[in-house]
Protein backbone atom coordinates (compact mmCIF):
# COMPACT_ATOMS: atom_id res chain seq x y z
CA UNK A 1 0.00 0.00 0.00
CA UNK A 2 1.28 3.44 -0.89
CA UNK A 3 1.24 5.94 1.96
CA UNK A 4 1.14 9.69 1.58
CA UNK A 5 1.14 12.42 4.20
CA UNK A 6 0.00 15.89 3.15
CA UNK A 7 0.79 18.68 5.61
CA UNK A 8 0.00 16.52 8.62
CA UNK A 9 0.07 18.24 12.00
CA UNK A 10 -0.80 16.50 15.22
CA UNK A 11 -1.29 18.12 18.62
CA UNK A 12 -1.80 16.12 21.80
CA UNK A 13 -4.67 17.51 23.87
CA UNK A 14 -5.41 20.11 21.21
CA UNK A 15 -7.44 23.09 22.38
CA UNK A 16 -6.40 22.75 26.03
CA UNK A 17 -3.68 24.55 27.99
CA UNK A 18 -1.77 21.22 27.93
CA UNK A 19 -1.63 21.18 24.11
CA UNK A 20 1.63 19.84 22.77
CA UNK A 21 2.43 19.67 19.09
CA UNK A 22 4.11 16.36 18.27
CA UNK A 23 4.01 16.52 14.46
CA UNK A 24 4.29 19.66 12.43
CA UNK A 25 3.50 19.92 8.73
CA UNK A 26 4.77 16.48 7.75
CA UNK A 27 4.53 15.57 4.04
CA UNK A 28 5.99 12.59 2.18
CA UNK A 29 5.12 9.85 -0.32
CA UNK A 30 6.05 6.23 0.28
CA UNK A 31 5.57 3.98 -2.76
CA UNK A 32 3.69 0.68 -2.56
CA UNK A 33 5.91 -2.19 -1.34
CA UNK A 34 8.33 0.32 0.18
CA UNK A 35 10.53 -0.29 3.21
CA UNK A 36 10.71 2.92 5.21
CA UNK A 37 12.92 3.47 8.26
CA UNK A 38 12.01 6.32 10.57
CA UNK A 39 14.87 7.59 12.68
CA UNK A 40 15.37 10.44 15.14
CA UNK A 41 15.86 11.01 18.84
CA UNK A 42 13.57 9.88 21.60
CA UNK A 43 10.71 12.39 21.59
CA UNK A 44 11.21 13.52 17.99
CA UNK A 45 7.76 12.31 16.92
CA UNK A 46 8.56 8.89 15.39
CA UNK A 47 5.98 6.92 17.35
CA UNK A 48 3.34 9.64 16.92
CA UNK A 49 3.95 9.52 13.19
CA UNK A 50 3.46 5.77 12.84
CA UNK A 51 0.32 5.86 14.96
CA UNK A 52 -1.22 8.10 12.30
CA UNK A 53 -0.79 5.37 9.70
CA UNK A 54 -3.35 3.08 11.26
CA UNK A 55 -5.24 6.05 12.66
CA UNK A 56 -4.71 5.23 16.31
CA UNK A 57 -4.18 8.97 16.33
CA UNK A 58 -5.90 11.14 13.75
CA UNK A 59 -4.29 14.29 12.36
CA UNK A 60 -5.22 17.63 13.90
CA UNK A 61 -4.88 19.05 10.39
CA UNK A 62 -3.77 17.69 7.03
CA UNK A 63 -4.58 14.50 5.12
CA UNK A 64 -3.17 10.98 5.08
CA UNK A 65 -3.81 8.69 2.13
CA UNK A 66 -3.23 4.95 2.30
CA UNK A 67 -4.14 3.49 -1.07
CA UNK A 68 -7.86 4.36 -1.39
CA UNK A 69 -8.34 5.31 2.23
CA UNK A 70 -8.24 8.92 3.26
CA UNK A 71 -7.80 10.00 6.86
CA UNK A 72 -8.65 13.55 7.81
CA UNK A 73 -9.40 15.13 11.20
CA UNK A 74 -13.10 14.35 10.55
CA UNK A 75 -12.77 10.64 9.73
CA UNK A 76 -14.91 8.53 12.09
CA UNK A 77 -13.77 5.31 13.74
CA UNK A 78 -16.42 3.31 11.86
CA UNK A 79 -14.80 4.40 8.58
CA UNK A 80 -11.44 3.19 9.83
CA UNK A 81 -12.16 -0.44 10.56
CA UNK A 82 -11.23 -1.74 7.08
CA UNK A 83 -8.07 0.34 7.11
CA UNK A 84 -6.97 -1.00 10.47
CA UNK A 85 -7.30 -4.53 9.15
CA UNK A 86 -4.76 -3.69 6.46
CA UNK A 87 -2.26 -1.95 8.70
CA UNK A 88 -0.60 -4.27 11.22
CA UNK A 89 1.12 -2.62 14.13
CA UNK A 90 3.82 -4.26 16.22
CA UNK A 91 4.36 -2.11 19.28
CA UNK A 92 7.49 -2.05 21.41
CA UNK A 93 7.73 -5.21 23.49
CA UNK A 94 4.69 -6.78 21.81
CA UNK A 95 5.10 -9.91 23.95
CA UNK A 96 3.59 -7.98 26.85
CA UNK A 97 0.26 -8.08 24.97
CA UNK A 98 -0.02 -11.88 24.87
CA UNK A 99 -2.90 -13.05 27.02
CA UNK A 100 -4.45 -16.35 25.84
CA UNK A 101 -4.01 -19.81 27.36
CA UNK A 102 -2.44 -21.28 24.26
CA UNK A 103 -0.35 -19.88 21.49
CA UNK A 104 -2.88 -20.96 18.86
CA UNK A 105 -5.72 -19.15 20.62
CA UNK A 106 -3.63 -16.03 20.99
CA UNK A 107 -2.77 -15.84 17.30
CA UNK A 108 -6.36 -16.71 16.25
CA UNK A 109 -7.89 -14.02 18.46
CA UNK A 110 -7.55 -11.13 16.00
CA UNK A 111 -8.98 -12.86 12.91
CA UNK A 112 -11.93 -14.19 14.96
CA UNK A 113 -12.57 -10.72 16.23
CA UNK A 114 -12.86 -9.60 12.62
CA UNK A 115 -15.39 -12.37 11.93
CA UNK A 116 -13.42 -15.43 10.87
CA UNK A 117 -14.73 -18.85 11.97
CA UNK A 118 -12.78 -20.52 14.81
CA UNK A 119 -11.71 -23.42 12.54
CA UNK A 120 -10.32 -21.13 9.85
CA UNK A 121 -8.69 -18.88 12.44
CA UNK A 122 -6.96 -21.85 14.07
CA UNK A 123 -5.70 -23.10 10.76
CA UNK A 124 -4.41 -19.62 9.94
CA UNK A 125 -2.76 -19.46 13.38
CA UNK A 126 -0.75 -22.59 12.68
CA UNK A 127 0.27 -21.23 9.32
CA UNK A 128 1.45 -17.94 10.87
CA UNK A 129 3.38 -19.83 13.52
CA UNK A 130 5.41 -21.45 10.76
CA UNK A 131 5.86 -18.10 9.02
CA UNK A 132 7.55 -16.62 12.10
CA UNK A 133 9.83 -19.64 12.36
CA UNK A 134 8.16 -21.63 15.13
CA UNK A 135 7.07 -25.23 14.72
CA UNK A 136 3.32 -26.03 14.93
CA UNK A 137 4.11 -28.25 17.94
CA UNK A 138 4.14 -24.98 19.89
CA UNK A 139 0.47 -24.30 19.13
CA UNK A 140 -0.97 -25.95 22.24
CA UNK A 141 1.60 -24.56 24.63
CA UNK A 142 1.14 -21.53 26.83
CA UNK A 143 2.78 -18.42 25.36
CA UNK A 144 4.13 -17.65 28.82
CA UNK A 145 6.45 -20.66 28.84
CA UNK A 146 8.47 -19.30 25.94
CA UNK A 147 11.68 -17.30 25.91
CA UNK A 148 11.42 -13.54 25.33
CA UNK A 149 12.42 -13.85 21.67
CA UNK A 150 9.91 -16.64 21.02
CA UNK A 151 7.13 -14.71 22.77
CA UNK A 152 7.82 -11.80 20.49
CA UNK A 153 7.52 -14.06 17.45
CA UNK A 154 4.13 -15.27 18.66
CA UNK A 155 2.96 -11.67 19.11
CA UNK A 156 4.12 -10.87 15.58
CA UNK A 157 2.33 -13.98 14.25
CA UNK A 158 -0.84 -12.56 15.82
CA UNK A 159 -0.39 -9.34 13.85
CA UNK A 160 0.40 -11.22 10.62
CA UNK A 161 -2.75 -13.33 11.06
CA UNK A 162 -4.71 -10.19 10.25
CA UNK A 163 -3.15 -10.40 6.77
CA UNK A 164 -1.97 -6.80 6.80
CA UNK A 165 -0.53 -5.13 3.71
CA UNK A 166 1.44 -2.64 5.76
CA UNK A 167 3.47 -3.72 8.77
CA UNK A 168 4.48 -1.04 11.25
CA UNK A 169 7.32 -2.02 13.56
CA UNK A 170 8.20 0.18 16.54
CA UNK A 171 11.70 -0.84 17.64
CA UNK A 172 10.96 -4.50 17.09
CA UNK A 173 14.38 -5.79 18.15
CA UNK A 174 14.83 -3.84 21.42
CA UNK A 175 16.04 -6.10 24.20
CA UNK A 176 16.86 -9.12 22.00
CA UNK A 177 20.35 -10.60 21.79
CA UNK A 178 22.30 -10.03 18.55
CA UNK A 179 21.35 -13.37 17.07
CA UNK A 180 17.67 -12.84 17.93
CA UNK A 181 17.86 -9.36 16.40
CA UNK A 182 19.32 -10.71 13.20
CA UNK A 183 16.64 -13.43 12.92
CA UNK A 184 13.90 -10.89 13.52
CA UNK A 185 15.24 -8.50 10.86
CA UNK A 186 15.59 -11.40 8.40
CA UNK A 187 11.95 -12.32 9.03
CA UNK A 188 10.75 -8.80 8.14
CA UNK A 189 12.99 -8.75 5.08
CA UNK A 190 11.45 -12.03 3.96
CA UNK A 191 7.88 -10.75 4.47
CA UNK A 192 8.78 -7.65 2.50
CA UNK A 193 10.42 -9.53 -0.35
CA UNK A 194 8.18 -12.59 -0.65
CA UNK A 195 4.80 -11.20 0.30
CA UNK A 196 5.31 -7.64 -0.82
CA UNK A 197 4.46 -6.15 2.56
CA UNK A 198 5.08 -2.43 2.91
CA UNK A 199 7.29 -2.06 6.00
CA UNK A 200 7.54 0.99 8.23
CA UNK A 201 10.30 0.53 10.79
CA UNK A 202 10.99 2.84 13.74
CA UNK A 203 14.52 2.22 14.92
CA UNK A 204 17.68 3.51 16.54
CA UNK A 205 19.84 0.90 14.82
CA UNK A 206 21.55 2.71 11.96
CA UNK A 207 23.20 -0.52 10.82
CA UNK A 208 19.74 -2.04 10.26
CA UNK A 209 18.61 1.04 8.34
CA UNK A 210 21.64 0.79 6.04
CA UNK A 211 21.17 -2.95 5.63
CA UNK A 212 17.42 -3.30 5.10
CA UNK A 213 15.57 -0.05 4.44
CA UNK A 214 14.89 1.47 1.04
CA UNK A 215 13.59 4.87 2.17
CA UNK A 216 14.53 6.87 5.26
CA UNK A 217 12.60 9.56 7.13
CA UNK A 218 14.51 11.58 9.69
CA UNK A 219 12.46 13.32 12.40
CA UNK A 220 13.51 16.18 14.63
CA UNK A 221 11.29 17.97 17.10
CA UNK A 222 8.13 16.88 15.31
CA UNK A 223 9.31 17.89 11.86
CA UNK A 224 10.38 15.71 8.98
CA UNK A 225 13.87 17.08 8.27
CA UNK A 226 14.91 14.58 5.63
CA UNK A 227 13.15 12.06 3.41
CA UNK A 228 14.76 10.06 0.65
CA UNK A 229 16.43 6.80 -0.28
CA UNK A 230 19.06 5.39 2.05
CA UNK A 231 21.96 6.80 0.09
CA UNK A 232 20.46 10.31 0.11
CA UNK A 233 19.76 10.14 3.83
CA UNK A 234 23.15 8.76 4.86
CA UNK A 235 25.32 10.16 2.08
CA UNK A 236 26.27 13.19 4.18
CA UNK A 237 27.69 11.90 7.49
CA UNK A 238 28.61 15.43 8.61
CA UNK A 239 24.97 16.42 8.49
CA UNK A 240 24.03 13.33 10.54
CA UNK A 241 26.67 14.09 13.14
CA UNK A 242 25.59 17.71 13.34
CA UNK A 243 22.11 16.37 14.11
CA UNK A 244 23.55 14.01 16.74
CA UNK A 245 22.57 10.92 14.80
CA UNK A 246 24.76 7.86 14.53
CA UNK A 247 26.53 7.26 11.26
CA UNK A 248 26.68 3.59 10.16
CA UNK A 249 30.05 2.10 11.10
CA UNK A 250 30.95 1.32 7.48
CA UNK A 251 30.41 4.96 6.51
CA UNK A 252 32.50 6.12 9.48
CA UNK A 253 35.28 3.80 8.45
CA UNK A 254 35.07 4.82 4.79
CA UNK A 255 35.30 8.47 5.81
CA UNK A 256 38.48 7.81 7.77
CA UNK A 257 40.01 6.14 4.72
CA UNK A 258 38.83 9.03 2.55
CA UNK A 259 41.07 11.30 4.64
CA UNK A 260 44.00 9.20 3.42
CA UNK A 261 42.97 9.65 -0.19
CA UNK A 262 40.59 6.75 -0.78
CA UNK A 263 37.73 7.56 -3.11
CA UNK A 264 34.26 6.14 -2.73
CA UNK A 265 31.47 6.16 -5.26
CA UNK A 266 29.01 6.21 -3.58
CA UNK A 267 29.87 6.31 0.13
CA UNK A 268 29.56 2.69 1.38
CA UNK A 269 26.98 2.24 4.16
CA UNK A 270 27.36 -1.47 4.99
CA UNK A 271 30.34 -3.78 5.49
CA UNK A 272 29.47 -5.54 2.23
CA UNK A 273 29.32 -2.34 0.18
CA UNK A 274 32.63 -1.25 1.70
CA UNK A 275 34.32 -4.61 1.02
CA UNK A 276 33.04 -4.51 -2.56
CA UNK A 277 34.70 -1.17 -3.26
CA UNK A 278 37.89 -2.17 -1.42
CA UNK A 279 38.08 -5.38 -3.47
CA UNK A 280 37.78 -3.34 -6.66
CA UNK A 281 40.68 -1.08 -5.64
CA UNK A 282 42.62 -4.16 -4.53
CA UNK A 283 42.36 -5.65 -8.02
CA UNK A 284 43.32 -2.38 -9.68
CA UNK A 285 46.48 -1.89 -7.65
CA UNK A 286 47.98 -5.20 -8.70
CA UNK A 287 48.30 -8.54 -6.97
CA UNK A 288 51.95 -8.48 -5.93
CA UNK A 289 51.11 -8.12 -2.25
CA UNK A 290 48.74 -9.86 0.11
Partner 1 sequence: MVNHYVISSTFGIITGDFYMGELKTLMENIIEVKHLSYRYGKEQRPALNDVSFDVHRGEWLAIVGHNGSGKSTLAKSLDGLLPFTEGTVTVDGLELSPETVWQVREKIGMIFQNPDNQFVGATVEDDVAFGLENRQVTREDMIPRVKAAIEEVGMHDFAQREPSSLSGGQKQRVALAGIVAITPSILILDEATSMLDPLGRHEMLELVSKLRRDQKLTVISITHDIDEAANADRILVIDDGQLVQEASPAEIFALGEKLVDLGLDLPFTAKLKAALKKRGIEPPTNYQTMAEMEEWLWQSLSNT
> Of 10-18, 72-80, 235-243, 247-255, which part binds partner 1 (CB under 8 A)?
247-255
Chosen residue from 178, 238, 242, 263 binding partner 1 by CB under 8 A: 178
Shortest distance (Å) from residue 206 CB to partner 1: 8
- Can residue 256 be called a binding residue for partner 1 (CB under 8 A)? yes
Shortest distance (Å) from residue 135 CB to partner 1: 17
For residue 19, with 0-12 CB atoms within 10 Å meaning exposed, 13-18 middle and 19 or more buried, which class applies?
exposed
For residue 244, with 0-12 CB atoms within 10 Å meaning exposed, 13-18 middle and 19 or more buried, which class applies?
exposed
- Can residue 246 be called a binding residue for partner 1 (CB under 8 A)? yes
Asked if residue 128 lies in contact with residue 110, where contact means CB atoms within 8 angstroms, the answer is no
Shortest distance (Å) from residue 179 CB to partner 1: 6
- Can residue 290 be called a binding residue for partner 1 (CB under 8 A)? yes
- Can residue 204 be called a binding residue for partner 1 (CB under 8 A)? yes
Shortest distance (Å) from residue 193 CB to partner 1: 21
Strand partners, 21: 11
Chosen residue from 1, 43, 76, 213 binding partner 1 by CB under 8 A: 43
Distance CA 112, CA 133 (A): 23
- Residues of span 97-156 touching partner 1 by CB under 8 A: 147-149
Asked if residue 149 lies in contact with residue 185, where contact means CB atoms within 8 angstroms, the answer is no
C-alpha distance from residue 151 to each of 5, 134, 271 (Å): 33, 10, 31
For residue 30, with 0-12 CB atoms within 10 Å meaning exposed, 13-18 middle and 19 or more buried, which class applies?
buried
Shortest distance (Å) from residue 64 CB to partner 1: 26
CB under 8 Å to 228, separation ≥6 — which residues? 215, 216
Shortest distance (Å) from residue 249 CB to partner 1: 4
Chosen residue from 81, 97, 174, 241 binding partner 1 by CB under 8 A: 174
Distance CA 231, CA 225 (A): 15
Per CB under 8 A, residues contacting partner 1 are: 41-43, 147-149, 174-180, 182, 204, 206, 244, 246, 249-250, 252-253, 256-257, 260, 262, 271-272, 274-276, 278-279, 281-282, 285-286, 288-290
Amino acid sequence: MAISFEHVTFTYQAGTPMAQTALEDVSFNLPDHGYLAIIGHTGSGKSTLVQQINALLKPTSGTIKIDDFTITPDTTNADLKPLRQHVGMVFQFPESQLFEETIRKDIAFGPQNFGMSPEDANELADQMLTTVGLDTSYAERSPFELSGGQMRRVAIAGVLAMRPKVLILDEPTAGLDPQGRQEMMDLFEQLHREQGLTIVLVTHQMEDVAEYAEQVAIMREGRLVKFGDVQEAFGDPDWLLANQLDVPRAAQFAQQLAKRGFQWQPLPLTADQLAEQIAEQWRKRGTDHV
